[in-house]
Amino acid sequence: MDLQIREAVEIYGSTKYISTENLLSAVLDSKKIGKILGKYKDIGKIINRSKEELKLLKLTNDEITKIKLLSEIINRITTPNEPDFRNPQEIAEYLMPKLRYLEKEEFIVCSLNSKNKMTHYEVLFTGTLTNTIVHPREIYYEAIKNKAASIVVVHNHPSGDPSPSMDDNKLTKVLKETGKIMGIPLLDHLIIGNGAYYSYAETDIDNW
């Protein structure tokens, strides 16, 4: 381990003033990884990249594995226990660490029980999400499979801006109507951005 880091911990009990590059080098046991990742201001966007994208940074398979392990540890530390659905913010905060840095859209269905406890969530669709890709049939099949009393759907905007698109609005309307027919209401549709989220239930209370 780097002597500077060892001394910082032993003497000051803190590493807050150690550079990102040196911290990553120590944790991942690789100066090369630390040097590469230390160049980026937003490390989260890098460590959540796919294996193929990380290879473009001239990293070996072992180095990529270390980065993916670090990413998983961070996700587990920053993700709280599965929340009760008392408000959209809790679901958003639960899933934001998993979604905010992704470079592709992911669509998640959260199954809730009669006490609004989230019992399961599943990524159903990945890629550029449109009404032709995200179909109510698959969404409500997932809800029925998990014996959901209600659902919350969540997807991310890789741009970081959670503002809904026209496609998002159309999809939400269809899912809401389908939920009424199926007897499994859609409680909310959340869009995750970079550090921010959009909630249809919060924003459009009168029509929800």
Compute the distance between CA of residue 54 and CA of residue 45 in angstroms, rounded to an integer. 11
Compute the distance between CA of residue 134 and CA of residue 40 in angstroms, rounded to an integer. 34
Which of 115-119, 137-141, 203-207 bottoms out in mean pLDDT, i.e. has the lowest?
A: 203-207
Residue-wise pLDDT tens digits, 81-129? 666 777 788 889 889 988 988 888 999 999 999 988 888 999 999 887 6
Q: Provide the residue type at 184 as one letter.
A: I
Residue 93 tokens read as 């905060």
Residue 178 confidence (pLDDT) = 96
Residue 191 predicted with pLDDT over 80: yes
pTM across the whole model: 0.66
Compute the distance between CA of residue 95 and CA of residue 192 in angstroms, rounded to an integer. 8
Please report, for the chain, the start and end positions of each structural domain, with discontinuous segments joined by +. Answer: 3-78, 88-207
Residue 132 predicted with pLDDT over 60: no
Q: Which CATH architecture has domain 88-207?
A: 3-Layer(aba) Sandwich (3.40)
Residue 18 tokens read as 């150690």
Compute the distance between CA of residue 75 and CA of residue 97 in angstroms, rounded to an integer. 6
Residue 1 predicted with pLDDT over 60: no
Residue-wise pLDDT tens digits, 6-44? 766 677 666 666 677 777 777 777 777 767 766 666 777
Compute the distance between CA of residue 133 and CA of residue 170 in angstroms, rounded to an integer. 13
Residue 130 confidence (pLDDT) = 59
Question: Are 152 and 130 contacting, i.e. CB atoms less than 8 angstroms apart?
Answer: no
Residue-wise pLDDT tens digits, 45-79? 677 777 888 888 788 888 888 888 888 787 777 66
Residue 3 predicted with pLDDT over 90: no
Compute the distance between CA of residue 186 and CA of residue 143 in angstroms, rounded to an integer. 10
Residue 5 confidence (pLDDT) = 65
